[in-house]
Chains A and B, each alone.
Chain A
Amino acid sequence: MKYEIVNLQEYSGDGCTIYTIIWENDSESIYDKFIEENDSSFPDELNELDVRLEVIGKKGAREQWFKTKEGSPGDLVCALYDDDERNLRLYCIRFGSVAVIIGGGGPKPANIKTWQDDPKLSAEVRAMIRLSKHIFQRLKDGNLYWSQDGKELLGDLDMSDYE
């Protein structure tokens, strides 16, 4: 297993299933690492993100709450909405309003216009783009599929063929 998609119990709800990723040999998810990296500098923003993700789980991942088109065309990589007053950016893969895979992110320097201008954000976005491509390929191959209500990823979630 190179990575595992796990269901984040604290956030998943009737409106949306919220997943994150755990890399092979890691005990914590990439969202946990995002928290760990930013908790000392931006605790209030992490508090806000926590409640926002909880609401998304209950009400659904409405497009209005995301910055779409952060990745490549069609890969569904996006960021949770942030404005100039916020320092943190959190990337995810949004499958309509019913499922989201939360990734990592980081502080968004005020002097950058796009994620390509910052090495940390670039690494996080590129990681999400790669994961998205891999998951889409798995869906295409039939190793992964959606539950009947479209809210849950089912199938072989042991992502051992990721390179």
Chain B
Amino acid sequence: MNKARVYTSNRIKKIRNRISEVDRQKIQNKMNLSIRLYDLMKARNINNTRLAELLNKNNSEVTRWLSGTHNFTTDSLTEIACALNIKLGDLFVSPSRVASRAQITLVTDNSACRVYYREENSKYNPYQFNIIERTHSIDERKITR
């Protein structure tokens, strides 16, 4: 089983050394934002054409937004957030963190505490509710309260 030879490039190293950390983060953040936007669109079954329609834009503009190269304005991000029915801040939160933010309902009796929570994504699509039930001991219930 032969693997490709690992190649290190001095020219790439030279480029690496000259990029400032701020510039690096600017580019990384644009790409991360494009991932988040794409995933939010996909979760809502909204394709490029539909988002363009919702915002009265050309398809090519949505393609550019998703390319990871676009420098968004606050106004355009606000428009996108409204079209996707999310808060502006949700565009900057990693999917795993959003999934951990949940509505929690506690149902208690003398012996147990049942915890119901639904992940944030379910708020937008009632058919994808993710309800998890756990049974807690009475001691844990006290801590939770």
The stretch from B22-30, B50-58, B76-84 touching chain A is B22-30
> CA–CA, A59 to B68, complex, Å?
12
Chain B residues touching A, majority SS? helix
Any A CB within 8 A of the CB of B3: yes
CB-based contact B68/A55 at 8 Å: yes
B76 to chain A, nearest CB (A): 15
Among B4, B5, B7, B16, point to the contact of A50 (Cβ < 8 A).
Answer: B16
B18 partner residues in chain A, CB cutoff 8 A: 43, 47
Any B CB within 8 A of the CB of A36: yes
Closest to A20 in B: B7
B68 partner residues in chain A, CB cutoff 8 A: 52, 55, 64-65, 81
CB-based contact B8/A55 at 8 Å: no
Chain A 44-79, CB within 8 Å of chain B: the 1/0 string? 001110111001000100101100000000000000
The stretch from B31-39, B117-125, B127-135 touching chain A is B31-39
> CA–CA, A152 to B2, complex, Å?
10
> CA–CA, A17 to B12, complex, Å?
16
A156 to chain B, nearest CB (A): 7
Closest to B5 in A: A6
Closest to A32 in B: B11
CB-based contact B67/A46 at 8 Å: no
B80 to chain A, nearest CB (A): 15
A5 to chain B, nearest CB (A): 5
CB-based contact B31/A65 at 8 Å: yes
A123 partner residues in chain B, CB cutoff 8 A: none
7 closest Cβ pairs, A-B complex: A6-B7, A81-B67, A51-B27, A64-B66, A7-B4, A35-B11, A10-B12
